A and B are shown apart, each in its own frame.
Chain A
């Protein structure tokens, strides 16, 4: 029948299955980004533009940093909407001109040309209006902390976690971000090339926005150095991107600080238990202990941060607080967005949520490829990706685009739900 004596039915079924799956996946990942703006989005844009106008008049009387910041956020929407309005207006004018029987033939041909060029402009404007409507991420302007922890996969996961850390450090130095290791623990054993936990601080402002695509589980498929029989292993490393807050006060920009009890991100010092790791017995001049470890426990949530990298207890405590604050802020933001998640699921299917528990990317050494599961983007130069080069950047860009698209989809869904 096929020229082959027989074919295992299971193999046939499997190959059919994969091709079927693939097609489905590709479908689910492409969003419609057509030129038509849904009326819901348009009304939203209009209300924002009205707010912008009101705030601008308010600012003319009294200066307020918060108002000014809000205006800056809205300016893009207002200008783009104006552009959209003028273009649609001119289109309707031209249309009227064409339909008017008294118009001269010469003028009519000009109008047709104009109409066509205006219509070509429209999709671009709609696109940028959608982009402008996406609310700024609350932490977008902040520097960030990047936490890397090996997941399933034992030693191999630790090894790959170390490689990921190197990758991000190389990426930062290529992009000119200032990056320091604030915590690095290599598990049991003195081997320096495996991690049990690492925290990088990327001090450049806006780093959170660039790096937030990296939160999630990174999967590696390769033959590990520790494998004797040449089998391919799959292990996972989880990466978490946390906002890093400026040390104190001076919150004229960015989200409100932690010292302000009314802030969403306020941490009551009473709720944090600090433990110094110190032996019992006499202290002070009697002993000279070099133990400087600090452990912070946030009692309501049970989040524990311990830090022992520095020889100074004081700087360990400072860093531990920084990490604790970042973790809590991220958690609270997630909790606040929880209600949106259901909506998002409805709008985009399962892949929409990008949490820390979800597999986001696969690094396959055998095929020398790196695939992002959210954008469906694949790069076939793994070495370049792992060196933090152009490859990694293009993957991250694809995710940024995907994020933007999905935000727009969510927003449209949200707006139509509100209208209904």
Chain B
């Protein structure tokens, strides 16, 4: 990491004494200034909340000590000493926010991710709550989720009769799928593996719900904290009205182990059910017409942003210090696998999730698989993986229509989205 120029630090200090602290993590003045603005707003919000809470406590205490009947909230009669107090609370900038801000800036200078300090991260039109122990949604993942929704809409044209008016251009413009999208008119079944905060599942629902009359999205993660958080995110965004009212019924988050199979289950150290045991528990995922030798479950789309950092890349400086120290390793680096039942021999350590999911995709009848990969090299290895598994797959790396700056070499280092479509017939 290049050293910060003294002149930059001085300039930052002249603007605000807190800026040099943020500069340590942000590295550029512009981004430090933005972070300071967000943190300041957050500090003011916290102080305001604290003040209101204190005031509530004070009022409660007042009534407790004076044994007066407390007026009901909708009672217009003013409470003693309250009229001007409430007004002051509503208007004045609360005291104590500067101290809070200083604390936040010091925490940030030590590398604590901004999202853990603020408690959330915007993701599309949603707000995803974040907490220590669960990976923070990335900007890249956000744009990949938008791309994924677009891919899904072209691959599975939404049924036109119900909303022929607004979606017909898309359906007519893309005659890619000769077969009807939904046999039996069931919901579109999407599996989000290693869901973390649940951001991909939630945003996909937000983007697809207007087009499809019925969806079923299942998010699976091995981390109980993540599952807890993803459920909270679901309720949080539904309560705020950013997700449709269908969301609580159509989204589900389950604790599950993607890497283990039921047979290897007995040997695994933890007590978390394997993916194959969870899927049949969801009625929507049961195959109405199971073939023999099939798994008995049916999923249309698998999307995943699994841990994909190699052991070397985790320690050799490719991974940012703040990420390495503050974010959960389990969400970044795949575990070392002892048995080779799940994954073919010769698979690189950082690719085990891809191998496992690609191997499973055919068995559950998935017609589309979308992966976020760490760089283009990994993306190409994943494409190779799909050539080895059963079924014919058309695999490509999704090209971002924009942002080709930094040249070809710079681009290959970036994360990418691999889209695999099963060839029909």
Given contacts A280-B410, A287-B320, A290-B114, contact A274 B403 (CB under 8 A): yes
Choose from B36, B125, B374, B402 the contact partner of A286 (Cβ within 8 Å).
B374
Establish whether residues B15 and A286, one from each chain, have CB atoms under 8 Å apart when the complex forms.
no
| Neighbouring B residues of A281 by C-beta, 8 Å | 318, 413
- Bound CA span A292–B38, Å: 12
Q: Which residue of A lies closest to B25 (CB)?
A: A290
Establish whether residues B30 and A286, one from each chain, have CB atoms under 8 Å apart when the complex forms.
no
Q: Total interface residues on A, using CB and 8 Å?
A: 34
| Neighbouring A residues of B147 by C-beta, 8 Å | none
Q: Is B262 an interface residue (CB 8 A)?
A: no
* Interface flags, A254-268, vs B, CB<8A=1, else 0: 000000000000000
- Bound CA span A283–B415, Å: 5
Establish whether residues B139 and A292, one from each chain, have CB atoms under 8 Å apart when the complex forms.
yes
Q: Is A76 an interface residue (CB 8 A)?
A: no
Establish whether residues A188 and B15, one from each chain, have CB atoms under 8 Å apart when the complex forms.
yes
- Bound CA span A105–B186, Å: 91
Q: How near does chain A come to B315, taking the closest CB pair, in angstroms?
A: 12
Q: Kindly name the residue among A188, A275, A285, A315 whose own CB sees the greatest number of chain B CB atoms within 10 A.
A: A285
| Neighbouring A residues of B415 by C-beta, 8 Å | 282-286
- Bound CA span A273–B403, Å: 8
Q: B77-85, B116-124, B150-158, B226-234: which lies at the A interface?
A: B116-124
Establish whether residues B142 and A284, one from each chain, have CB atoms under 8 Å apart when the complex forms.
no
Q: Which residue of B lies closest to A188 (CB)?
A: B15
Q: Is B69 an interface residue (CB 8 A)?
A: no
Q: Is A19 an interface residue (CB 8 A)?
A: no
Establish whether residues A275 and B405, one from each chain, have CB atoms under 8 Å apart when the complex forms.
yes
Establish whether residues B318 and A286, one from each chain, have CB atoms under 8 Å apart when the complex forms.
yes
Interface positions of B from 375 to 425, Cβ below 8 Å from A: 375, 401-403, 405-406, 410, 413-415
Choose from B34, B124, B319 the contact partner of A290 (Cβ within 8 Å).
B34
- Bound CA span A413–B138, Å: 60
Q: Is B35 an interface residue (CB 8 A)?
A: yes
Q: Is B136 an interface residue (CB 8 A)?
A: yes
Q: Is B75 an interface residue (CB 8 A)?
A: no
Q: B53-61, B268-276, B290-298, B306-314: which lies at the A interface?
A: B306-314
Q: Is A236 an interface residue (CB 8 A)?
A: no
Q: Is A17 an interface residue (CB 8 A)?
A: no
- Bound CA span A293–B332, Å: 25
Given contacts A276-B403, A290-B26, A291-B31, contact A284 B414 (CB under 8 A): yes
- Bound CA span A293–B26, Å: 13
Interface positions of A from 277 to 307, Cβ below 8 Å from B: 277-293
Q: Is B323 an interface residue (CB 8 A)?
A: yes
Q: Is B264 an interface residue (CB 8 A)?
A: no
| Neighbouring B residues of A189 by C-beta, 8 Å | 14-15
Establish whether residues A274 and B38, one from each chain, have CB atoms under 8 Å apart when the complex forms.
no
Q: Is B257 an interface residue (CB 8 A)?
A: no
- Bound CA span A277–B122, Å: 17
Given contacts A190-B16, A290-B31, A292-B139, contact A311 B122 (CB under 8 A): yes
Q: Which residue of B lies closest to A308 (CB)?
A: B34
Q: Is B372 an interface residue (CB 8 A)?
A: yes
Q: Is A176 an interface residue (CB 8 A)?
A: no
Establish whether residues A285 and B30, one from each chain, have CB atoms under 8 Å apart when the complex forms.
no
Interface residues of A (CB under 8 A from B): 188-190, 249, 269, 273-293, 308-315
24 A-B pairs in the complex with CB atoms less than 8 angstroms apart: A190-B15, A190-B16, A190-B19, A249-B166, A273-B402, A282-B375, A283-B413, A284-B373, A284-B414, A284-B415, A285-B305, A285-B331, A286-B318, A286-B323, A286-B415, A287-B323, A288-B136, A289-B139, A290-B26, A291-B34, A311-B38, A313-B139, A314-B122, A314-B124
Closest 4 CB pairs of A and B: A284-B415, A312-B122, A274-B402, A190-B16
Interface residues of B (CB under 8 A from A): 14-16, 19, 26-28, 30-31, 33-36, 38, 113-115, 121-125, 135-136, 138-143, 146, 166, 305, 307-309, 313, 318-320, 322-323, 327, 331-332, 372-375, 401-403, 405-406, 410, 413-415
Given contacts A190-B36, A269-B401, A291-B34, 11 further A-B contacts (CB under 8 A): A189-B15, A190-B15, A190-B16, A284-B372, A284-B415, A285-B307, A285-B374, A286-B309, A290-B31, A290-B115, A291-B31
